[in-house]
Structure 1
Amino acid sequence: MSVNPTVERVTQRIIDRSSERRAAYEQLMESQQRRGVHRSELSCGNLAHGFAACGETDKNRLKLMNSANLGIISSYNDMLSAHQPFEDYPRIIKEAVQAMGSTAQFAGGVPAMCDGVTQGQPGMELSLFSRDLIAMAAAIGLSHNMFDGALFLGVCDKIVPGLFIAAARFGHLPSLFVPAGPMPSGLPNNEKARVRQLFAEGKVGRDALLEAESASYHSPGTCTFYGTANSNQLMIELMGLHLPGASFVNPGTPLRDALTRHAAEQTIRNSEVGGDYRPFYRQIDARAIVNAMVGLLASGGSTNHTLHLVAMAGAAGVTITWDDFTELSAVVPSLTRIYPNGQADINHFQAAGGMSFLIRELLKAGLLHDITTQDGGTLAGYVREPFLENGKLVWKDGPTDSLDEDVLRPVANPFAPTGGLTVLEGNLGRGVIKVSAVKEEHRLVEAPVKLFSDQDELKAAFEAGELEQDMVAVVRYQGPRANGMPELHKLTPYLGILQDRGFKVALVTDGRMSGASGKVPAAIHMTPEALDGGPLARLREGDVVRLDANAGTLEALVEEGEWQAREAEGISRDSYHHGLGRELFSGMRSLVGGAEEGASSFAGYGDQPGSGHDRNTH
């Protein structure tokens, strides 16, 4: 079926907008590729250092230049449930490629922090910057010129975007992403949300809250709600960087291990010496990025990707904007209801038909590009799902009908005709809003402003009974330059309670809310941020603000002359810049670009030196 006209138009606009930047990127990748098998460039001393710790068989293979050597980059640690399963992956990978006469080396580990642990804590102010640090750490691991392909082991919020950025900068290598899969389902999401709200109201104690949380997050694997981590997996599969159906297979199962082995074997086949060269840079282009955007919109995915996907695309020489998201959202239907947009979890989505059904529907409707993929075929082959038959990995056609239309629907019967993500614009700047979980009657809020400089101030005001009114809560000085743009999850229960009590409530912030953006309308990622004199800094307590999610507007209803004459209210953030290692990230805070440019601390990383591109011209 032909591609939807809007999808085609947006894709072509991105290609045209990116032409100079993309050409410089491809030129750089081609020059890296022309160097051939990279360890052949090394001196004898270099090479000896590179394989000194290997066994004799691997040493002999690495001395020759006719077999492939894979670099493994892993985010393993045993504090994160999502990444704990990666502990055994290097062994599985090495055994798989050794059986093919090739080799694999653990090239490096990257840091991986858990936003679930750091929510509301000082460490959360390092979270966004960890994405760029992960990219740099992965680059160091791959910098040794020993590798013919790469495997990237990661799942969660900033980890996959950081690994993707590194993969793009080593785009001459074929690369596959190897997930760990979600933990089995625990306490139902609606019950978890109920206990959280009761705790916020003081109706249950911390012991009941901890018991509910422990029953929700209970074993190795990714958290099962549909936040940034699971959005990562969906987008990576839609870009063809996973094996078909690999995203949501539970860890610790024979099928999961078989997929890991096959990913290693496939990357050998995709190498130059493997005979079917499929480098990252030839696969990930504007069409692949649009596929990720479409999948994100169709599934009601994380708003964090209005930052991350911009930065990821930029690393591959592709420039996307929030307006691209908005235009695509108008024609991409909402096909899933996964918590927080519904009560089902990601395992329920998988059981209802999962990625194979979603991809089948989106391809059939012309909403995806049938791009080449790292499994050796094209995205059309991703309507299949993996199984084990007598211990052998096979793929079979996935379901043609949803097995639960309360969770997953066809394009002909969507939950909503649009993707539920849009840009808000007005005299308060530009931001994004996710409305897929916001009921129609809550999408227009016009109310006086209550100003806060962090989420703890709002919590204290709630507990003091000062917020029992219609209100637009403005939490400002939360942008990337101010304090690293933390997620503001602590706000969700309090604002939800006020809305349940019948008040008109909205949130406006230059911070983030991520995949947990819920039932309260939230204008997030506002740019320019308040610390840089953005419009949020001009607001005064009691100003009336109108947020209209359907119209895409956000306005302070202040007379124009008075508004323009106002000075921005400044605030000292020094207390947020020290302690728990935050002082080590001062350079990133000074370099970071705005939210709409991906909040990246890299300037011009998609381009050749001297091409004239930097973060201010994208």
Structure 2
Amino acid sequence: MHSTIQEVTERIIERSQATRAQYLAKIDKARRQGPHRGVLSCGNLAHGFAACNQDDKASLRSMTKANLAIVSSYNDMLSAHQPYEMYPALIKEAVHQVGSVAQFAGGVPAMCDGVTQGNPGMDLSLMSRDVIAQSTAVALSHNMFDAAVMLGICDKIVPGLLLGALSFGHLPTVFVPAGPMPSGIPNKEKARVRQAYAEGKASREELLEAESKSYHSAGTCTFYGTANSNQLVVEVMGLHLPGSSFVNPGTPLRDALTRAAAVQATRLTDLGDNYMPIGHIVDAKSIVNGLVALLATGGSTNHTMHLVAVARAAGYIINWDDFSDISNAVPLLTRIYPNGSADINHFTAAGGMALLFRELLDAGLLHNDVNTICGRGLEQYTKEPMLKDGELVWEDGPKASLDKEVFSSVKAPFKPDGGLAVLNGNLGRGVIKTSALREGKTRIKAPAVVFEDQFDLGRAFKAGELDKDCIVVVRFQGPKAIGMPELHSLTPPLGVLQDRGYKVALVTDGRMSGASGKVPAAIHVTPEAYDGGLLAKVQNGDIIEMNAETGELILHVDEAELARRENKQADIDHHLQGMGRELFAGMRCNLTGAEQGACSLFVRQEQAL
């Protein structure tokens, strides 16, 4: 093992001894209370299988055949999740053929940040993750199930499903992807039209046409944002079938993988000899593996919150220093938009997941002594699935990149370090995605231009007020303020300013999209302005320095002056009402800081610690 990866793993294990022990004791107790249907009264059990056919009723009465829970985030407004409409039927049929039962246990909400960006609904986005976790727990709460399959892909949905599944860590759980849509127009062309529209050089009709050619069919968006980062991380953590993350929907191979995933879940239950619950798969080594793969591919910065929360759900405490140290040790192996012009389908064609596993394993950057849904170790993940004479088989994947412009190697990486840096200074702590930054864009020192609403920035841009070197501060966007919405709609105007030759950057306690990165941005700044962070004292014209190379985020105002200033009061009432936002007031109050996962689910546990 690489010494830094080993060191980070060991310190996570050390700092998490008490919380991991508590977690393992909890899931062991839950296991010993089973088999679960056996503890139900006759009336309870009769309710549980009342709608089943006679064969399934007989199977569920016997207590010897597995019952698989299907938890789905299907809706047909979200292109990535539309294929899940047909999955329950495929899963039930496949499970029935091996003598077990599958029941649809529950649905979870699935919103699309691509639809809500720049709109009031975006204020609910991050909080939806915790709602999904709770909905998953409700779905699994009936004590009817021996294993589960989770159907989810996109931004908050997979982390939410993980959080919920880990609360039932005694159950074997398999995650089942639906795959990316086929490639549309090049991502660079889409970005060009967006910037042209921001400058008034393209009409709304031209913009809509370009967007429609990019997001054009069922499947995940093809850029390397949070959705595709989710799939990559979950596979590296051993919760997908090998090579299943990026197979396009509506193909025979995709359907074969879905059936195989369901059958595999039935093989892992406590009714047989190969019991492997999710709580024994997601451990310190698998979490570190997920971090390594995320950073080696320049993945989404949203995981600086999501993986922190997921780790906590499994009893582990990780922080941004862990991300930073791993990023410094891991080379950047891929160029996938926004880190390059290729999309996720090009990544797959260049070698895909099988080659990624091979490169990282050979370099000692992944722990191989881990549990997966397919057994012990990761060698099987260097193989890729295919159909031969109608049968699903796995064969050795590529041993070298088939397109070195998209996929490099550990020996000749695109960069010697990963795609993320952690920033520290008197403004607080934040993260910056460096993998997509152009040469010379990692350092900037400039006057602040302060906004307290992302929409005010757009008006200032159109008025020409930002045509200068500046660091744009957008504050009161944090978890406790308004739920930490994504600010991806700021990328086109800031990108235009950058292309005009101005030195610009963003500092915010909000989030940016997993598809962002062209403009240097210190994001997730904590403590947030609403919770006493120094961001609340920044004034127009103050000099701010952001340096991803040295890890500095500094407000150059002397201490005496800062002591005289009062924290600016947040004018955020318009973000707290309407579009259902008033229903989330209690959750907002309980959200932790960004580095603690921006999570409302473990407040009492954290207070007890």
Indicate the residue corresponding to 1:207 in structure 2: 205
SS at match of 1:297: helix
Do residues 474 (structure 1) and 466 (structure 2) align?
no
Q: Equivalent of 1:49, from 47, 50, 53?
A: 47
Asked if 2 retains the 8 angstrom alpha-carbon contact of 1:132 and 1:162, the reply is: yes
TM-superposed CA distance for 1:604, in Å, is: 4.9
Indicate the residue corresponding to 1:609 in structure 2: none
Do residues 498 (structure 1) and 497 (structure 2) align?
yes
Do residues 464 (structure 1) and 487 (structure 2) align?
no
Q: Deviations over 1:311-367 (max 9, x none)?
A: 011000011000000001111000000001100000000000000000100010000
Asked if 2 retains the 8 angstrom alpha-carbon contact of 1:527 and 1:595, the reply is: yes
Distance (whole Å) between structure 2 residues aligned to residue 581 and residue 113 of structure 1:
13
TM-superposed CA distance for 1:410, in Å, is: 1.1
Indicate the residue corresponding to 1:367 in structure 2: 365
Asked if 1 retains the 8 angstrom alpha-carbon contact of 2:427 and 2:554, the reply is: yes
Q: Deviations over 1:421-475 (max 9, x none)?
A: 1110101011000111112311111110000011111110010011111000000
Q: Deviations over 1:567-611 (max 9, x none)?
A: 111122111111110001111111111101000011257xxxxxx
Distance (whole Å) between structure 2 residues aligned to residue 78 and residue 409 of structure 1:
36
Q: Which amino acid aligns with 1:257?
A: D
Indicate the residue corresponding to 1:514 in structure 2: 513
Indicate the residue corresponding to 1:413 in structure 2: 412
Distance (whole Å) between structure 1 residues aligned to residue 286 and residue 462 of structure 2:
47
Q: Equivalent of 1:18, from 16, 19, 36?
A: 16
TM-superposed CA distance for 1:377, in Å, is: 4.0
Q: Deviations over 1:110-129 (max 9, x none)?
A: 00000000000000000000
Indicate the residue corresponding to 1:610 in structure 2: none
Matches within 5 A, 1:541-580: 541-580=540-579
Asked if 2 retains the 8 angstrom alpha-carbon contact of 1:82 and 1:223, the reply is: yes
Q: Which amino acid aligns with 1:539?
A: V
Indicate the residue corresponding to 1:175 in structure 2: 173
Distance (whole Å) between structure 2 residues aligned to residue 165 and residue 532 of structure 1:
25
Do residues 64 (structure 1) and 62 (structure 2) align?
yes
Q: Deviations over 1:538-560 (max 9, x none)?
A: 11111000111100001011112
Greater shift after overlay, 314-323 or 553-562? 553-562
Q: Which amino acid aligns with 2:577?
A: H
Do residues 4 (structure 1) and 2 (structure 2) align?
yes
TM-superposed CA distance for 1:615, in Å, is: 5.9
Q: Deviations over 1:481-540 (max 9, x none)?
A: 111101101110111111111111110000000312221110000001111121100111
Distance (whole Å) between structure 2 residues aligned to residue 141 and residue 458 of structure 1:
42
Indicate the residue corresponding to 1:535 in structure 2: 534
SS at match of 2:219: coil
Q: Equivalent of 1:614, from 585, 606, 609?
A: 606
Indicate the residue corresponding to 1:125 in structure 2: 123
Distance (whole Å) between structure 1 residues aligned to residue 353 and residue 332 of structure 2:
14
Q: Deviations over 1:368-410 (max 9, x none)?
A: 0111210234212100000000110000000001000100111
Asked if 2 retains the 8 angstrom alpha-carbon contact of 1:70 and 1:105, the reply is: yes
The alignment's C-alpha RMSD in Å is 1.0
Distance (whole Å) between structure 1 residues aligned to residue 478 and residue 348 of structure 2:
35
Distance (whole Å) between structure 2 residues aligned to residue 90 and residue 377 of structure 1:
28
Aligned length: 608
SS at match of 1:491: helix
Distance (whole Å) between structure 1 residues aligned to residue 283 and residue 565 of structure 2:
44
SS at match of 2:545: strand
Q: 1:383 to 1:588 in 2, by over 3 A?
A: same
Q: Which amino acid aligns with 1:462?
A: F
SS at match of 2:440: helix
SS at match of 2:329: coil
Give unpaired runs (5+ residues) of structure 2. none
Distance (whole Å) between structure 2 residues aligned to residue 391 and residue 359 of structure 1:
26
Q: Equivalent of 1:325, from 305, 323, 326?
A: 323
SS at match of 1:545: strand
Distance (whole Å) between structure 2 residues aligned to residue 83 and residue 558 of structure 1:
48
Q: Deviations over 1:210-254 (max 9, x none)?
A: 000000000000000000000000000000000000000000000
Distance (whole Å) between structure 2 residues aligned to residue 33 and residue 616 of structure 1:
25
Distance (whole Å) between structure 2 residues aligned to residue 20 and residue 383 of structure 1:
35
Distance (whole Å) between structure 1 residues aligned to residue 563 and residue 533 of structure 2:
12
SS at match of 2:416: coil
Matches within 5 A, 1:70-469: 70-370=68-368, 371-469=370-468
Indicate the residue corresponding to 1:608 in structure 2: none
TM-superposed CA distance for 1:616, in Å, is: 8.7
SS at match of 2:308: helix
Asked if 1 retains the 8 angstrom alpha-carbon contact of 2:590 and 2:603, the reply is: no
Distance (whole Å) between structure 2 residues aligned to residue 588 and residue 219 of structure 1:
35
Asked if 2 retains the 8 angstrom alpha-carbon contact of 1:168 and 1:281, the reply is: yes
Indicate the residue corresponding to 1:33 in structure 2: 31
SS at match of 2:457: helix
Distance (whole Å) between structure 2 residues aligned to residue 205 and residue 615 of structure 1:
53
SS at match of 1:156: coil
Distance (whole Å) between structure 2 residues aligned to residue 580 and residue 274 of structure 1:
48
Asked if 2 retains the 8 angstrom alpha-carbon contact of 1:243 and 1:374, the reply is: yes
Asked if 2 retains the 8 angstrom alpha-carbon contact of 1:119 and 1:487, the reply is: yes
TM-superposed CA distance for 1:420, in Å, is: 2.4
TM-superposed CA distance for 1:260, in Å, is: 0.6
Asked if 1 retains the 8 angstrom alpha-carbon contact of 2:179 and 2:248, the reply is: yes
Distance (whole Å) between structure 2 residues aligned to residue 602 and residue 519 of structure 1:
33
Asked if 2 retains the 8 angstrom alpha-carbon contact of 1:597 and 1:615, the reply is: no
Asked if 1 retains the 8 angstrom alpha-carbon contact of 2:113 and 2:122, the reply is: yes
Indicate the residue corresponding to 1:585 in structure 2: 584
Asked if 2 retains the 8 angstrom alpha-carbon contact of 1:270 and 1:376, the reply is: no
Asked if 2 retains the 8 angstrom alpha-carbon contact of 1:593 and 1:615, the reply is: no
TM-score (norm 1): 0.97
Greater shift after overlay, 203-212 or 511-520? 511-520
Distance (whole Å) between structure 1 residues aligned to residue 602 and residue 269 of structure 2:
30
Distance (whole Å) between structure 2 residues aligned to residue 35 and residue 518 of structure 1:
48
Q: 1:440 to 1:615 in 2, by over 3 A?
A: farther
Distance (whole Å) between structure 2 residues aligned to residue 283 and residue 456 of structure 1:
43
Distance (whole Å) between structure 2 residues aligned to residue 218 and residue 500 of structure 1:
28
Distance (whole Å) between structure 2 residues aligned to residue 88 and residue 452 of structure 1:
46
Asked if 2 retains the 8 angstrom alpha-carbon contact of 1:132 and 1:601, the reply is: yes
